[in-house]
Structures are given as C-alpha cells and as structure tokens.
Structure 1
Amino acid sequence: MPLSTLIQRSSQPSPSLGEAQAHDLLRSHYDLQGSLQALGSQQDLNFRVDTDQGRFVLKACHGSYAEAELQAQHAALAYLRLHGVPAPKVRPAKSGDELLAVEIDGQPLRVRLLDYIDGEPLTRLKHMPVRLMAELGALCARLDLALAGFDHPGLERTLQWDPRHAVALVEHLLPVVSNPQRREQVAALAAQAAQALAPLVAQLPVQAVHLDITDDNVVWARDEQREWQVQGVIDFGDLLRTWRIADLSVTCSALLHHAEGDPLRILASVSAYHAVNPLQTAELRALWPLVQLRAAVLVLSSEQQLAVDPGNQYTRDNIAHEWQIFDTANAVPAALMEVAILQAAGQAPAQPDLSGCAPLLASIAGQAVRHVDLGVLSPHCEAGNWQAPGFDQRLLAAQPAPACSLYGQYRLSQTHIDRADEPATCALGVELHVLPGSALQAPQDGVWQRVDAQRGCLRTEAWSLWLDGLEEAPADGQVLQRGQALGATCGYLRVQLCLGSEARPPFFATPAHAAAWLALCPSPTVLLGVDCDAEPLADPQALLARRDASFARSQKHYYAQPPHIERGWRNYLIDMQGRSYLDMLNNVAVLGHGHPRMAAESARQWSLVNTNSRFHYAAIAEFSERLLEVAPEGFDRVFLVNSGTEANDLAIRLAWAYSGGRELLSVLEAYHGWSVATDAISTSIADNPQALETRPDWVHPVEAPNMFRGRFRGADSADDYLRDVDAKLAAIDASGRQLAGMICEPVYGNAGGISLPPGYLQQAYAKVRQRGGVCIADEVQVGYGRLGEYFWGFEEQGVVPDIITMAKGMGNGQPLGAVITRREIAEALEAEGYFFSSAGGSPVSCRIGMAVLEVMRDEGLWDNARDVGRYFKARLEALVDKHPLAGAAHGSGFYLGLELVRDRNTLEPASEETMALCNRLRELGIFMQPTGDYLNILKIKPPMCTTKASVDYFVDSVDRILSEGL
C-alpha cells in the first residue's frame, strides 16, 4: 500500500453539502421531503431525514471512494440482517440504484440513503455501567462471528483506521501535534506498542470486520425497567478485511473514554467477547498494543482533521475525549494490561522459574518465621487502631525476629473512608522484621539500580527484585553475580518481585487490580526460603451459594452480588478485601459498628452469667428503671423482649387484655413485624405484596396520612385523613364489637421518615380512647433519639400514647426490645397468665441496653443526631432544589428519606431510578436501599455517630449520580 494513498485518505476534509442541496437530492432521486438534522462524522457527511414515509439517513462521501467499498458495505448490511444482527437497510433511489454518483458545485460525491434506527448512542453517557461494556464486547463478537463467512472485493481497501498501517500513519502525522510534550508521549506509546505487536502479527487471524463497534455507532433504547438495550449497529464506513482482533481493539479503545481513568474497567468487554467468539492467545496478547496504537491514531487523526477542516464541529467536540482515551491507554504498565487481558479470557500468565536462585536472606532460610496477620479479621486490629500511621510496621517490629507480613493479604490498615475509589489494600510483597545486620545476597545474576542509600532494585534477565531497608545499597549500575553480597538489613526489610523491566510497581494494589498485579509480582517465598503467602480469601460466590442452599431464601440479602462483610467500625462496614463502605441504612447499630464498650460489656457479663428473666439479678431492675426515666410521666411498667416484632405483638395482646375487645386500627403503608399478629396489622406492600388482601377481620386499616403523596396533601390535611378514622370507628361501633385500640408509627418509618399531619394523632387518640381503646406508639424504628429533634416520635405530635414499643437501636445489634406502659394495662395481661420471653431481659441484654444509653449520653449522640441531622436535611433539600428527580426530603435527625419522582406534579414514583441509584452508590462505597410502597425513597438511617464529612460524601455522591443521569 503506497504511503501517499494512506496520507491522502487521512487528510481529506468532509464533503461540502448544504441543506438546500440535500433537500434537492432527496426530492429528485428519492421523492422524499422532510426535515434535516446534521449528524456528526469525521470525513463523511450525514443528515437525519424525517419524512411522512419514515426516518432515514442521507450519507454523502467523496467521489474518490471506490464504488466497490460502498457496495461491500451494502452487501454486509444485508448479510448481517440475515444472521440476526440489527443493521439498517439501504433504500434504493427512483432509478433502482442503491449508490448514486453525483456532482455538486464541481465536487464529485457518492450518495446513498439508509433506514434510520431509532435510539441513541452512548457516547455522552456520563457513567457507563460495566454491564453495557460487556454487552458492547459481546455485540462485537457476534458481528465478527457473522462476518467471518462474509467476502466481497470491496473489502480490500486502504483505510487510515486499519491497524496494519498504524505505525506508518503515526510517524507521518506526529508533526501535527504542536505540544512537544504531547508529541513525545504519542511517539513513545506508539513505539512501545509497535515493539510488542511485531512478533505477534504473523499469528493474527484475518477476516472482514466492522472496525467501528463503538459507543458512537451502536444505538440503544431503554426498556420498561429503564435498562439500556441494543437497537442496532450503524456506520459501516470502516468495513474491511484485517486482523480479527482489530475489531475488539476499536471497541475497547472507545470504552476507555468511559473507563474513568482505569483501563482495567474494559476487561468486561474482553471477557464477554471471548465467551461468544473465543480468541487465540496471540490475539489476546496483541489486543492492548492495538488499543494503544488506536489511541495514538485517534488523537493524531483528529489533530490533522482540524488542521485541514477547522470548521468540523464533530471533530472539535471529540478531540478532548480522544486525548482522554490516549491518557487512559497510557495509565498503567502495558505488561499489567496483557496479564489482565489473559486473565479475563481465563488464561493464566506464565510464571518465572525461581528454583535455581540463591536465598536472599540465608540467615532465615528454612527457619520458622512468625506470620503477622494484618488482614481484615486480624486479632491485632481493634477499636480502630489500624487507622494510626505506621500501624503495620510497629506491629511487625514488636514481634520477635524473624517475623514477616503475608504476601497477597488484604490489609485493614490500607482502607480509607468517604471516598469513591477503591483503596489499594492487597500487599504485592512482604515486609520482614529480622535482626539488624542480617546479610543479603543476590538471588540471581543482575544489575543493581540504586534509588537511594536504603532502596533499590536488582534487575535480572527475567525479573526485578525491589528491596527497601538496606544499611547501604550497592552502587548504581553495579553488576552482581548469583550469591554475591548485597549488603545487610537495618532490621526492617521490604521485598517485592516484579516480572519484566517496567517501572517500579506499587506495593499495594486495589482489589480490582489485585489478580493482575499478583501475577505480575509473584510471591518472594522461594527467594526467602520461608512460606510468606496469605491464605486465599473464601470465594464470596461460593459462600453465597452455600447460604442459598441452607438459609431460607425468603430471608433476603441486600444486592444481587453483595460484598462479603465481616467487620465494621463506627459508621462503616468493611469487606474482606479491606474496602470500607459508608453505612447509611443500618438503624440497628446506633452507636456504630465495633464499639469497644459493647464488646467489653458483653464479654464481661457472658463471663459471669447469662440466663433468663425469671432468675433474680440486678441488671434487669437497673435497666427497667433506666427505661422508665426516658419514658413520659405516668409510665411505670416495662416488658423486655427480643425484637420489635415481639414488642408489637405483645402490645397487641396488652390492648386486647385491657380493652376486652379485639378490633384494632392500623395505618396503611406501615410495617410492624413478621409474627402472625404483627404481620396482620402490617400493610406495607413493599414488605408483603399481598398485605392488602390478607388482613383478618379484626384489623381495620385506615388511610395513610401521607402529606407528600397521599390523597390529601400538605400540613393542614389532618381533618381530611381523620374522616377515614371516623368511618372505620363507626363501622366497628355499628358491628357492636369492642375496639381494642390503634397502632401507628408517630413518624412514617417505611415511607422514609414522613411526619404525620399536625394534630392527626391528637384527634385520633382521643377518638380511640373515647371507645375504651388504647393507643400504641410503634417507636421501633423512629424512637430512642434517632429523630434528633425529639427522643420519641410521638413528641412531634404533642401526644402521649398508652403503650410504647421499641427495639432496633436499644441494643446496638444485641437482640433487645421493650414495651413500656402503665401499671393497669400491664396487669390486665395477668388474667390470661404470665408473660415470658426466653432471652428478653437477659443479663447480657440488660447490661448492653444500659451501656447503649450511657454511650449515647456520654458521646453526645443525641445532640449529634440533632445537629448533624439538621445539616443533613438541609443538604438533601438542596438536592431537591437542584434535581427534578429528587421530589422531596423527608424526616429529621438520622431518620431521613429522599423521595424520587419522575414528575413533580403527578408524583410518578421513580422506582427503577431509585434502585439504580442505590446500586451506583454501592459502587462508590455507600450502602443504601430503597423503601416505601413504590420503593422510590432512599432509606437513610445511619448510625448516630455519623459525621458531617460522611454526610457530605453521601450527598455529594447522590448529586454526582443524579447529574450523570439514571
């Protein structure tokens, strides 16, 4: 292929074709009239045409394009449709020709008309989920499978995007980059890629390929669940015969624009392609060099195109993200990407043979070396001590020598909080505590590369050995023979192996990159002569399968693929790879996770005795007295139980016993528990889809007084909702049956913390009491200080109930619940026999319950709920002002809800968007789940130690996601 031809094809401006001329073409050749919309292209010209007969694309290219090239495209479109690939049809002109040769203003053009595929490309998608990357890779594979059997003379063509010409094109176009630093970067990356590609070229299969399966040239549409689905493939302008792997390299290059700076995010597309259309090892190894060359050609081509066609807005808009593609292609060592790509295709990279090496530290080889556990479950880690700088090294130094850390272990000390990026936690080497002065020797022949007096690298033919902690490093460039002295240690030594001659690897890798880095940085066990490898983590998928096989599936877990959580600290939960997730929904752990006071109280009381409340011990009296201190005046009896369900179940029995009736009012959309009685009064269809059809006749649900989306809106709606209370009470009166009472959450918990209309409970309670019923306040979720502004939710309504039920935060995770009431109500139950809860009020539970109250007081958690809660609510309200999807901010303190709606007037619930938001928050390191009957409200119930910094991170993340679009 003459270089001049390639240069000429890469240096043409777009054709010149005005809208009036386009209209003339459509009328004269196709009998079509309609509106035009210009579509972007680098060297062609495209218009969307909207007509009464349908929607089309008018395409015009230079007359210098060979007719056979365009006929090959048309033939491929028909061929792919026969093979089930969604591709547009060509609409013949009145003459019957699919391809027209015309001349406009002395400019020879080739013109054709194609059906328009409705949908949109994902080019400007601000965040591309991994699922879409995988689907794009699988689509590319399906096209290549289909095109493997396609042939046409027009496939033999000269095209600037053909990677077989990339090296020549880069060399020619380099001068168009005016910035010398950028020009040097492009030249270096292209040279590195060309060197890696050269020995593989002869092994690469050749076939017809589309060569442009990108976010620009695949159109998508959302389905009813708002998931993106492929509608079709467009723009076959780069169709030709070249290396098969070139097609995937183009797709991967385009995805680098969506990789958020991390090139390993594209591996999903590689795995998906390989699963559909298996690749050869040579192709897998060639993929990343081809991606790098594509990145170089992209930026150079755009710079060239702007030079010859400065008015091309399409190119001008694209050049910024093409430089982003280039920078991402240059972001990690090429060797790492090769390993990662091989792993994505299920292939294990080759490992070096270290069997002939001399021991690095002869003094410890074969000795018993103490392993120091620095992992997530390490017994050395407690009460957040791992957060102190230098924790690992101090712990290692405190052990008798010799001692070592573990290779491949995910270290808790490396976690970080309130950040979207994964922490680099996986150790790619080993740290040792040895006797100062311990002699080191070269394991293999090599050259010493000195960093400073204590650090450096021994570079051998096949690998590099990085050392840190020498008393005096050898001179830079010193040639060392196997077994030759390398100096001595200072007592601390860091050892790391790395294959190849790349720049110095990091000592820690993120979990997402760990597998590739561990393959590139193998264990130094053989060189040390001691076992220093960590035990592999349990497979979380296998563990989940075991759960599903033995644990009843109606007991759901958060997320389809949940993180494996085994540790928590304050308002964070930590997975086994050391990533800390901001816990924004755990209203059980009010004090936070891992609180040392809870551990101490539990351990001490367990070491003494734990039994049931029929035995005589001080803790039960002390805790009951403490509960009455926080209850309203007149409350003088406590029942201790295990859970909120048990508390509410007992409250129903108390109401029945005291009133002599069984009829109970409950409020729609509420949840009260899972026992037979509490399920009967629970009407939340989010928790039980059959809730409204399975009420027994003694339960009388009243209309939910939801001021935001109920039948009546606003703060003055109490009287409107009370009409339904009156109607239900009148029906009970007419039946001659006795009312037992009414149960209600004083603040709507499952609806996201929505307050009841002012005055609602005052009037409802009065109506119930007039008929001899009792009023039950379900404070299980909203009480105990969580609301910030009030200790009890009923305080907001200015009422005092007859029975208070509570649980959740009472025990900070210890099974503990309570019912507080008056003596006459409590004693009414005695006529039916005594009450007993096996573990309710046990010594351990009572001691923990008292400790929770003390810690909340001593650490100012009630004040924190009020002050940080106000700040939190204000920040959520600012989201409502900014984003139409954010319909309302509910609640107070640390019981908040952000309700998502598609329309502020109709309040159509944005249920799918809410779930997508929660899943995206998880990717950013935040646990959040939807609530409400429509699952369109964020359930915001964090531990009460949550800080303003965590609030800011959460709200900023929600803001980011809403700005990206859902």
Structure 2
Amino acid sequence: MLQESAIGRAELPRPNVSVADAQAIFRDHYGLVGDIVELGSQQDRNFRIRAGGKRHVLKICHAEYRRIELEAQNAAMKHLAGLASMPLVPRAIAAGSGETILSIDINGQPCHARLLDYLDGEPLTRRKFLPEITVAALGQVCGRVAKGLDSFDHGGLDRQIQWDLRQARPVATALLSALPDERAAARIAAALDEAERHIAPLRAGLRVQAIHHDITDDNVVATPDADGNPIPRGVIDFGDLTRGWLVADLAVCCSALLHHAADPFVALPAIRAFHAEHPLNEAELKALWSLVVQRACVLVASGENQLALEPDNAYAAGNIAHERAIFEVATSLPISVMQAAVLEAVGKADDRPLPAMEPLLPDVAPKSFRPVRLDALSPLFEGGNWSDEGIEVRLLREAAAETGAAISRYGEYRLSRTRHHSATAPETFALCIEAQVPAGSRVVAPFAGIVSMEDGGMRIDGEHVCLLIDGMERTHGEERTGAGETIGRVAASGRLRVQFCREKGLTPPPFVMPHQAGAWSVVCPSPSGLFGGDFDAPEPAGEALLEIRQAHFARPQKNYYQRPPQIERGYREQMYGMDGRSYLDMVNNVAILGHGHEKLAAAVGRQWSLLNTNSRFHYAGVAEFSRRLADLAPDGLDTVFLVNSGSEANDLALRLAWAHSGARNIISLLEAYHGWTVASDAVSTSIADNPQALTTRPAWVHAVTAPNTYRGPHRGPDSAAGYIADVEAALARIEASGERLGGFIAESVYGNAGGIPLPRGYLQEVYRLVRERGGVTIADEVQVGYGRLGHYFWGFEEQGVVPDIITIAKGMGNGHPLGAVITSRAIADSLEKEGYFFSSAGGSPVSCTVGMAVLDAMRDEKLQENARIVGDHLRRRLEALGERFPIVGAVHGMGLYLGLEFVRDRDTLEPATQETAAICNRLLDLGVIMQPTGDHLNVLKIKPPLCLSPQSADFFADMLERVLEEGW
C-alpha cells in the first residue's frame, strides 16, 4: 500500500493558487503586505514576500498531505535549531490565529498553508560548476543534519512519499509509463534492476532513522567564504522529511551533484565529508551508489510524469534537463566501480587477494619477457613520438625482437595515451597487460571456468574472477575448461592483451582516467602473476615528493598550485604530468622555444661532451655569442656581459650605472619586479612579490608612480604627461638634497603588471630628463624582450628609444641559467674602476652553446613572426570574451606577452583577486597552466613558449570561455 499511495501523490498537479490568492493569505492570516514572487516547486506552491524589511515564504500543499506530516516538519526544524553545529533552518511562524499550519480552502481545493522564515543565500543549482570545497561543504551539511535527526522522532515521519528510496523500484517502474520514449524507459528499468541486484543483499544492514531526504543543490542556501567559494550555510524545504534509510539522505545529496559535472567522482568529496560527520557502516557504503542510481531513475520518471500532467509547469520543465543529466552520469560507470570508489574515498581499502593460478603462457619463460616502459619518463620516447600512430605496438615488437618476448606494465600511466587540447583527463591508466610473444605460443586456462567468445576475444568466467584475452586463436571447443588446460594459441600478430575483472558480465575498458584508477583497480586487479613475474608499474610518488620538497626546500621558494601535478616532461607548448595528462603551458616564458627542443638538446649534449669551463679561458663560443648579441642591439650598444639570470643582469646594470655616473640614486617604477639580488630587489616594488616592498626601499631608490594606463591615476595611451611630472618631481627632490642621479630602470612594457604598454612618448621624455642629469637609462627586457612581443624584438622599440643598457635573461637560455647585459664600451669600461667582473657559469661554453642554439631556432622556426601572428589572433579571442563577460576588464600587451585583467566592476576597477586565483585553478582542471600577476594578482600572465600553435591558442581561449560561462 505504501507505494500505491506514493504513486497517487506523484500524479497530483500543484494546487491552483495564483499570486493574488497568496497575497490574500499573507494579508488576511499573517498581516503581511509587500512584494510577492512565486518560487518554483514540483508539487507545492511557494511564494516569497518582502514586508517590513524581512522576507518570508508561504508554502501551500494539497490536503492529501496529512497535517501530522507538516507538524513533523515544523518539529524537525525546531529540533535542529536547538542543536549545536547545525546549519541554519527555517522557523515556522504562527498565523494570527496562533496556528503554524492553516487548513484552508483555495479555489475549491482543500490545502494546507505554512509561513516560514526565508533564509538568505544563493542556491547551488544555478551554478554549473561547483568547486570541491563547495561539494565537501554540502556533504558536511547533509551529514550534520542526518546526525541531528538521528535523535528526532515524530508520528508524522511514517508517511507515504514517492521519494522514499526504500520504494524506489516500484515507484519508478509505475511512473515509467509516462515516458514517450520506450528505449529510454527500458534503459531506466534496466538501471533500476541492476541497482536492486546490488542493494538486495545489503538491505538488512541499512539503518533507518528520520531523514531530510532532500538536501540538494536546490534546497541549501550558500554564502561565499573568504576565497569567494559558495559554502552551504542553511537548509530549506523539509517537505520530504520521512523515516527512511540513513544512507538515502546522502544518496539524494550525491545525485543532485551529478548535473554539475560529467563525472560521477564529483560526489566523492561530499561522501567523505558526510562520513566524517555521521559515519556509515559497510553495508551503507556499499549500497550508496546503487541508491544514487535509483534516485536518478525516480527523478527522471517523476519529472517526465509531472510534465505530462502539467505541461506549463516551468519548474518541472526547467529541471528535466538536469534530471536526465543526473541519470546519464549516475549510470556512466558500473556500480561495482563506484562502490569501490566510495570505499576508497572513506579509507576502506578492498584488498581481496586473487587465488593461485596456472601460468597463461607455459612455454614462454618469465625471464624472457622484456618490460617496455610507456610512461612519461620512458627512455623510448623522444621528439614527441609518443603521439605517433601505433607507437605502443612498434615498441613492443622492437623489444621482443631482441629478447624473444616483451611485455607492458599493468597500472602504468601511459604517455602514449595522452591527448592534447583536452578538457578532460585522457584514459592513460592501464588496466591490462599487453605482451608480444612468438606466434603460435600455447595459451592455457589459469583457472577452471566457462569459456566464451566476446567481441573477437575470449572470456573465461571463473568462481572469483573473469579473464579477458584478445589476440589468440581458440582451440578449446568446450564451454567449460579446467585449470591448466590449453584453450588456444597466440595469433599470427604475436600480440596478446590480458585483463582481469571481478564483476561477472562486465566488459571493462582496457584504459581509464587517472582519477578513476584506484576504483577500477579493485574491479580489475593486475594479471601480472599470469606471466610469472612482477610486471606492475610503481605508483607515481607525487604526494610523497611534495612532502619532501616542503620539508627540505626553503619555504620562500613557492610552488604553483596547492595540489600541483607532478610534471617531469614537456614538448613544445605542452607539459605532461606523471599520470599522462597533457597540460597546455601558457606561462613559461623561460622556455621560449618550447619544451624538449631536440636541436637544442643535441647541441648542449655535444658541448658537454667537449668542454665546459669558465669564461676566463679562451674558446670560440664566448666570442661568437657575444658578437651575435651585440648585433641584435641598436648601434652603439656593442659590449656584452654574460651572467646567470635576470636578477644578476639587473644587479650588474645598476652597478654599471653607479660606476659610470658616479652617483647612487636610482629612479624605478612602482608595481615593478627586477629580481632577487640585493640591488635588483631594492628597485623592485611589486607588493605581490614582496608585501613589504613599499616600506623597505633603501634611501637611494626613488619609486615613481607606475605609468599604468589602465588603472593608474592617468589613463589611456596619451597619459604620459601626468606620469612624467611625477618623474620630474623625483628628480627635483634628488637635486634639492644636493645629490646626483645614477640612473633610471624600467621594463619597456609593464610586464609584471600584465603586459601593459607604457603611454606614448613616456620613455622618450624620461630618458631625456635622466640623461640631462648624467644618469644612465636601463631597459629591463628580461620578460618582454627577445622577440616575445612579435611586432618588435625589443620592447623599447615600441617607444622609439634606445637605452644605455639592455638586460635580458629567461628566454635567451630556454630554461638554462643564462642572462646578459648589453651596453656601450664606455659604460662597460667604467666598471673596471671598481675591479674585475666575473660570473662562473655566465659565458661558459655550454651557456654560449645554449644561447646560440636558441637564436638559431628562433630564426629558423620564425618564432618572432609566430608570436606576432598567433598572439594577435589570441588577443582578438580574448577581446571577444570581454564583450561577453563583465569580469573581463581589459586585454593588455601584444604578441605572446598578454595580460587579461579581471575586475569586479568596470567603473571602479575593483580587482577580482579571489576570482582570478579560482579561475587559474579551474583552468588547471581543464588542462591549462595559468597563473596570476600584478600587484592585485588579478591579471592572467599569458606568456607561453613562442612556438604556440593557433590550435593551442584557441584551446586556451575556449577553456577560459568555458570557465567564465560555467563558473569557478
């Protein structure tokens, strides 16, 4: 009878109540008059009123819902409100009659009405993407409410509702008749049956208590935390309160998360958080995902049924797409896999051993197998060949040709399975072993079982596990086989693929995504033992290595991301995690040629095999490289110092300015970064790099207003006069003190602020003022120069000036520690008054070889031209985003030094600092490496390798567009 009544209620339309009807109830029964808005609901009518500075919600339901059920809801809210550590819950408000539940007739319909507090906050259902911290917080809220209701009891809990997951199968089956698509109905019915098969043996262990049964993204209200993440603080709508399975409360919560991502693993943080608050027993943990599937079935069936009853129900129509998505995601992985994932998430490992078995290939000696590495560190991979068609087969055959047999590794994250420009992680984790052995080798059954053919391969179903084999010719004609019995021979290709599966009837994929590896490994354990050895790949040590780094690597040396991927390989503009994930590198201006450059690597290797020493020895490289650098500079700048880094280059440039001018005072710009040495740090004023920068400058540093044409006091490309006046004021103060000027240092394009161009004519006038006073002008081109701007080789060319000193580093070594100072002979000779200059590795044979190889590649591969063409294309894509999304304040820079500035308000230019950090984290999830820059850390610093392809530029823009659309 329970399911019959529940189904009957499921077929009720919402009460016929208009806004005018609600207005009369508000006024006549509660004395409230104000603005009224109808809120969505599937079977009730909900209206919100704003009156007297407060907001309340009027809930109206059919009288078929017994009064005692509503009393139970009111009592449950009051009970939770009196407990510690509970989320906010509404309060029932009495009418003028003193009743909290009104039984009234509305347009000839017997109804119940209640007035509740309105809880402020944002429902999560409107957000497409939910960060992990939000998902975990939702699970925590659900766990706390479940824990609080454990001590609650009321006569109204024993009720008949369609959502009771104890009755999910009969309720959903009865509702399926409303589905017009018979194939869809059949899929749902099959999913119900499969879930019930898993639940049936667990039912006795599922605890029953009072449960909210509807803590979903739509029934919580969230407010932002300190980082801007929406965190659920309150729970609304106790309309589904009932006595039911405790684990059903979590199943409902998990199902609601599934339309926010195409991956069922999105629910795992919520499961961990719930379990930490209100621990589930083993039966409940094992039943959880089956109940999620059944909840999804009920949602779709009920939604379709409601639309059939009320085609104009906007709430039901708006939710049906979510409900269909929930079903698709809930059923996208086998229940056994999700069951393993749930257990793993709460720290309950499934370590069932496999029984002893016969060797699969008794005529192939285990020692003859040569393991073939296909992971990110494989020495067999070079020059991007891991992306070649058929590379795995070729490498196995080549290895087998040497030793007679070759074998791949189970549990290996294969780089050969990576995908570029993919928003989702590729299926790189091997659940199988592939072997290359002599054709015709005998294959025997490792255990007794039933033999069948499946998709061209063989399957043996045993008592404890199934074995799937591809690549053999069957000779066994019987359905049953005994352990050690010959079942076939290896086919002419000599290639076998072997895989275990614990789930009967399941055909698992041979490769899965890295984050699913743990769960799939439980269902598909290693078949390594069948080959007589240990052919399992070791688990990457990313987390352990991070702990070692944090223990011994000095803390001021920060790393990107809170949970960084372990990256050990790169090629061109791609970087690869140890799990085989490809990341588009959009920040690595150091690797100007791109990663893994073959010609550069060959040149360096050759030079290392010949000689590496210091520049006091006489060898060709230092002469040739110095000449080539001087040839790149404007006339008159013909003398080169070679150093190890940009910091050293700027430090040396300041020493040259002091020596040549005979004065100490240096003018630098605010918001600038020039390095970490004592002198280069002294002229660095970026508070993002050093929060104390503005209060710890030595007296010889005179920082002037940053000529920031976007957010500075003077804006636009023709704003130079205002900023020049500030320089003149600084010069006047130096002169008034009786001292002289040593020089002026600035990036030619405001790189650290996000690639902001200086106002027109700024450097021309500032250089003139500085030189009039005997000062030296220094152009810091460490970030913005060397062809990166595309339209210019040097940044100062845009301003139409020639500095006295150019400093460079970063890209000139493609990651090798290499920097340089280019200046005039007269300025360089000034340093001899203070003694000799020497850099141990600066100008070494290897460093010079690196520098010349980089210049060769830039010329041969036309990288400056590529920076101009691809950079201009990318800038247009980013500007188009600015037309759609208000958070985009401006696009700065040119070529492949671009900055995308995010603001909360385009008028006030309030920096969107928290949002920018979250956007960068979200981009990492989508396969893009990006970091913020600027004093407010609200600018994306877009400075990828100059080999960036148009396809990669579009992928970055597409992923950024997705984040701005879906949220972060």
The two structures have a TM-score, normalised by structure 1, of: 0.98
**SS in structure 2 opposite 1:819?**
strand
CA spacing shift, 1:473–1:558, aligned 2, 3 Å: farther
The offset of 1:366, in angstroms, is 4.5
**SS in structure 1 opposite 2:114?**
strand
The offset of 1:448, in angstroms, is 2.5
| Pairing of 1:460-475 with structure 2 (within 5 A) | 460-472=462-474
The offset of 1:541, in angstroms, is 2.3
Correspondence for 1:642 among 641, 644, 648? 644
Q: Which moved more, 1:687-696 or 1:441-450?
A: 441-450
The offset of 1:352, in angstroms, is 5.0
2:137–2:231 contact (8 Å) kept in structure 1: no
| Pairing of 1:164-179 with structure 2 (within 5 A) | 164-179=166-181
The offset of 1:840, in angstroms, is 1.0
Correspondence for 2:537 among 534, 537, 561? 534
1:765–1:775 contact (8 Å) kept in structure 2: yes
**SS in structure 2 opposite 1:150?**
coil
**SS in structure 2 opposite 1:635?**
coil
Per-residue deviation, residues 822-855 of structure 1 (Å, max 9, x unmatched): 1110001101111111211111101111111001
Matched, 1:57 2:57: yes
Per-residue deviation, residues 528-562 of structure 1 (Å, max 9, x unmatched): 22221112221x22221211111111111111111
**Whole-Å separation in 2 of the counterparts to 1:631 and 1:117:** 66
Q: Which amino acid aligns with 2:610?
A: L
| Pairing of 1:691-770 with structure 2 (within 5 A) | 691-770=693-772
**Residue in structure 1 matched with residue 843 of structure 2 by the alignment:** 841
1:469–1:494 contact (8 Å) kept in structure 2: yes
Matched, 1:414 2:417: yes
Q: Which amino acid aligns with 2:283?
A: A
The offset of 1:116, in angstroms, is 0.4
1:364–1:529 contact (8 Å) kept in structure 2: no
Q: Which moved more, 1:72-81 or 1:461-470?
A: 461-470
**Residue in structure 1 matched with residue 362 of structure 2 by the alignment:** 362
1:591–1:943 contact (8 Å) kept in structure 2: yes
**SS in structure 1 opposite 2:471?**
strand
Correspondence for 2:443 among 440, 445, 448? 440
Matched, 1:15 2:18: no
**Residue in structure 1 matched with residue 379 of structure 2 by the alignment:** 379
**SS in structure 2 opposite 1:191?**
helix
Q: Which amino acid aligns with 1:349?
A: D
**Whole-Å separation in 2 of the counterparts to 1:452 and 1:415:** 25
Q: Which amino acid aligns with 2:508?
A: P
**SS in structure 2 opposite 1:582?**
strand
**SS in structure 2 opposite 1:693?**
coil
The offset of 1:278, in angstroms, is 1.3
**Whole-Å separation in 2 of the counterparts to 1:80 and 1:589:** 57
The offset of 1:451, in angstroms, is 3.5
| Pairing of 1:290-305 with structure 2 (within 5 A) | 290-305=291-306
The two structures have a TM-score, normalised by structure 2, of: 0.98
2:162–2:171 contact (8 Å) kept in structure 1: yes
The offset of 1:317, in angstroms, is 1.2
**Residue in structure 1 matched with residue 28 of structure 2 by the alignment:** 28
1:354–1:526 contact (8 Å) kept in structure 2: no
2:3–2:160 contact (8 Å) kept in structure 1: no
The offset of 1:224, in angstroms, is 5.0
**Whole-Å separation in 1 of the counterparts to 2:518 and 2:249:** 26
Q: Which amino acid aligns with 2:198?
A: A
Per-residue deviation, residues 111-157 of structure 1 (Å, max 9, x unmatched): 11111001121112111122211111111111111111111111111
**SS in structure 2 opposite 1:748?**
coil
Q: Which moved more, 1:183-192 or 1:130-139?
A: 130-139
Correspondence for 2:154 among 148, 152, 155? 152
**Whole-Å separation in 2 of the counterparts to 1:719 and 1:899:** 24
1:363–1:439 contact (8 Å) kept in structure 2: yes
**Whole-Å separation in 1 of the counterparts to 2:539 and 2:915:** 37
1:645–1:675 contact (8 Å) kept in structure 2: yes
1:786–1:862 contact (8 Å) kept in structure 2: yes
The offset of 1:598, in angstroms, is 2.3
Matched, 1:404 2:407: yes
**Whole-Å separation in 1 of the counterparts to 2:666 and 2:555:** 31
**Whole-Å separation in 1 of the counterparts to 2:832 and 2:353:** 78
1:564–1:575 contact (8 Å) kept in structure 2: yes
**SS in structure 2 opposite 1:747?**
coil
The offset of 1:662, in angstroms, is 0.7
| Pairing of 1:435-584 with structure 2 (within 5 A) | 435-451=438-454, 455-472=457-474, 478-490=479-491, 491-538=494-541, 540-584=542-586
Matched, 1:887 2:889: yes
**Residue in structure 2 matched with residue 945 of structure 1 by the alignment:** 947
**Whole-Å separation in 2 of the counterparts to 1:527 and 1:280:** 35
Q: Which amino acid aligns with 1:55?
A: R
CA spacing shift, 1:3–1:788, aligned 2, 3 Å: closer
**SS in structure 1 opposite 2:126?**
coil
Q: Which amino acid aligns with 1:779?
A: E
**Whole-Å separation in 2 of the counterparts to 1:754 and 1:720:** 17
The offset of 1:206, in angstroms, is 0.8
**Residue in structure 2 matched with residue 5 of structure 1 by the alignment:** 5
CA spacing shift, 1:836–1:134, aligned 2, 3 Å: same
The offset of 1:485, in angstroms, is 1.6
The offset of 1:89, in angstroms, is 0.8
1:450–1:473 contact (8 Å) kept in structure 2: no
**Whole-Å separation in 1 of the counterparts to 2:53 and 2:102:** 21
**SS in structure 1 opposite 2:125?**
coil
1:352–1:462 contact (8 Å) kept in structure 2: no
| Pairing of 1:338-349 with structure 2 (within 5 A) | 338-349=339-350
1:448–1:459 contact (8 Å) kept in structure 2: yes
Correspondence for 1:128 among 127, 130, 138? 130
**Whole-Å separation in 2 of the counterparts to 1:632 and 1:546:** 48
Q: Which moved more, 1:333-342 or 1:760-769?
A: 333-342
**Whole-Å separation in 1 of the counterparts to 2:53 and 2:776:** 70
The offset of 1:350, in angstroms, is 5.0
**Whole-Å separation in 2 of the counterparts to 1:573 and 1:838:** 31
The offset of 1:383, in angstroms, is 1.4
Root mean square deviation, CA, Å: 1.4
1:365–1:530 contact (8 Å) kept in structure 2: no
The alignment covers a number of residue pairs equal to 961
1:452–1:473 contact (8 Å) kept in structure 2: no
**Whole-Å separation in 1 of the counterparts to 2:794 and 2:305:** 69
1:369–1:530 contact (8 Å) kept in structure 2: no
**Whole-Å separation in 2 of the counterparts to 1:479 and 1:579:** 42
**Whole-Å separation in 2 of the counterparts to 1:535 and 1:781:** 39
Per-residue deviation, residues 630-680 of structure 1 (Å, max 9, x unmatched): 111111211000000000000001001111111111111111011111111
Matched, 1:795 2:797: yes
Q: Which amino acid aligns with 2:821?
A: V
| Contiguous gaps of at least 5 residues in structure 1 | none
Q: Which amino acid aligns with 1:479?
A: R
**Residue in structure 1 matched with residue 277 of structure 2 by the alignment:** 276
**SS in structure 1 opposite 2:410?**
coil
The offset of 1:28, in angstroms, is 1.7
Q: Which amino acid aligns with 2:779?
A: A
CA spacing shift, 1:537–1:764, aligned 2, 3 Å: same
**Whole-Å separation in 1 of the counterparts to 2:746 and 2:244:** 70
The offset of 1:279, in angstroms, is 0.9
**Residue in structure 1 matched with residue 241 of structure 2 by the alignment:** 239
**Whole-Å separation in 2 of the counterparts to 1:8 and 1:836:** 89
Matched, 1:37 2:37: yes
**Whole-Å separation in 2 of the counterparts to 1:814 and 1:325:** 50
**Whole-Å separation in 2 of the counterparts to 1:469 and 1:3:** 51
Per-residue deviation, residues 787-819 of structure 1 (Å, max 9, x unmatched): 100000010001101111100011101100000
**Whole-Å separation in 2 of the counterparts to 1:569 and 1:723:** 48
Q: Which amino acid aligns with 2:303?
A: S
CA spacing shift, 1:474–1:796, aligned 2, 3 Å: farther
**Whole-Å separation in 2 of the counterparts to 1:303 and 1:732:** 79
